[in-house]
Amino acid sequence: EDEKRPHNVVSLVFSALTALPLLVLLILWLKIGFNLSGLPLGLSPLGFHISHAAVFALMFFYWKCLNMFQTMRYLALVCIPLFLFGHRVLATLAARR
């Protein structure tokens, strides 16, 4: 027996409503302007952003093919550099003030 699915219109409306907050965020950012002058430069911020992107990628792979236990194992490994780089970035920002 096939799974029952909603009509395509319902799926499209749900997707649009889900993406709407991101669209509002981008529009408001364009309206008030970006302030990138406070971002520190160097290896620590780069490592933090790469680690953060790895967590997002891991969430995607959890959604597509990994089970919870595999995801938690990888997440434990990815969160170590995320924490260390994030701590260093925040310490750098605090020292500037």
Exposure pattern of 81-92 as b/e (b: 16+ CB <10 Å)?
ebeebbebbeee
High-pLDDT (> 70) share of the chain, % = 99
Residues 6+ apart with CB under 8 A from 68: 62
**What pTM did the predictor assign?**
0.68
pLDDT digits (tens, 9 = 90+) for 51-84: 999 999 999 999 999 999 999 999 999 999 999 9
1 band by pLDDT with thresholds 50, 70 and 90: low
6 pLDDT exceeds 90? Answer: no
pLDDT digits (tens, 9 = 90+) for 21-52: 999 999 998 999 877 777 778 899 999 999 99
